Structure 1
Amino acid sequence: MSHSAHIPSHRKPRRSASKLALRAGVAGGVLGTIAVAGAAGPAHAEPVTETIEMPTLGSLDTAGLASAVAASAEASQQEALDQSLESQEHAALQKAAKEAKKAKAEADRKAEAERAEKARAEAEAKAAAEKAEQERQEAAERASRDRARTQLSTTSTSDSGSGSGSSGTSDSGSSTGSSTNETQAPSGSAAAIVAFARAQIGDAYVMGSTGPNSWDCSGLVQAAYASVGIDLPRISSDQSSRGTSVSLSNLQPGDVLYWGSRSGSYHVAIYVGGGKYVGAQNPSTGVVERSLDWDTPSGAVRIL
């Protein structure tokens, strides 16, 4: 900043050197006029002998400039101080804003992590509850089947006794023949039914569903027989009422297994040979292949 620039200040403005010089000149002129008038006055007046020294213009200019320079320097120093304080305040505000932004981001990150953890815990709890419910349903189904088998044990024994007089010897032979059939692959319609049932293994169990990607027990049996052109009823109790009753020791691939009474069964599946069956069991397992020992059926019917 130049020394001649206009500098705002709270102090009283100083007079410039030119104004001081002008005033000195006017004062000198006035005093000179007075001196001349005195010399031209009456003869009895005493001459003026006192000499007044007036400040020179150069000395007045130097003093004014020095004062102006000092004032300008002081104003410049004050302005620099004001600018420094303003810069410090601006830097402090920027730092505070940056720290506040960082703190907010950290708070948002923690909140998001807490929400994710809460969602994960809720999902795990829900999965555990669903698994427990499925296990409870499966246990209840097994208990119900066990009770039904116990209640029907007398009826089953009576049915076997009524047929023993006419085919007691043939039952033994049939059992041996069954063993022979176990070692051979099914053929014809039985092979197609077995193949269809096994192709659905892994599908979901959904009550009332008839495929193609989810089934209930009777829906799977109905669809398997429909694949070879045989129309079966939709309900398991009606399916087990069709065909001819056969003993579990004389099963052939394609036979329909049932749980409960023949005319009141609550579950059905398809015998696929080798002491195994395929059925849509429950929501926990879906369509599976199981051994007869895993859940022994109450009886079987032969429809082919």
Structure 2
Amino acid sequence: MSPNALIPSHRKPRRPSASSRALRAGVTGGFLTLAVTGATVPANAAEKPVAETQEMPTITTALATSAAKSADTAEQVAFNYERQALQDSAFSKAAKAAEKHKAEAVKKAKAEAKKKAEEARKAKEAAQARASRSSERSTLSAPSSSTATGSTATLVSFLKAQLGKAYVLGSSGPSSYDCSGLTQAAFNQIGIDLPRVSQDQSTAGTQVGLDNLQVGDILYWGSAGSAYHVGVYVGDGKFIGAQNSSTGIVERPLNYDMPTGAVRVL
């Protein structure tokens, strides 16, 4: 046995070197914790295992604040995107609604224009139909010149004999006449003395309607008492008169130049 075998050693136990230590880090309760422990600890060591804890509130607060700001920023960005999407959707719907309303307004305007045009056409046709019926009634109510007898036949015969003669203002025949000169000369053939001018002839007899004419009625243009032209109704919807210097004495249908009124002297 060695003489030194039972002699206890006076050297202190060696602490674990820095290379044999393990570095542990963790976040506990909101703090950053660093723990350093020895790799091995002798069973009879007087010290407790090494445990070093250091709190770093400043770093922890900065990290928390940064994280909070990042969360707020992300939330704000998401909110902005959502709001923009809602606005875009609303604008799109409004634009579509406006286009729809515009199309409906155009369609309605076209329908109204078409309706008014149709109403105007119908009104025009109705007016033409009334005028035609009035003309037909006038023709049917007036006796034909071929059936005129006595003084009426003499009157019409004289007027027809003057057709083609010249119109001369102020003339009373026999080669030329003006409108009232022809009328006066015609009625002189049957013993009726008419005033010389058209204004007086338009009030010389009884006023009659144009839908109730008879052969021999005096037609006038203008107002009664101030007429500017006269002629004589000869039946079959026609009249004879000295029209103007271009046409002379002619026979025309009533619708050639519709008179204003008529007087009856027979």
When normalised by structure 2's length, the TM-score is: 0.50
Task: Write 1 or 2 for the structure with the bigger share of helix.
Answer: 1
Task: Write 1 or 2 for the structure with the bigger share of strand.
Answer: 2
Structure (1 or 2) with the larger CA radius of gyration: 2
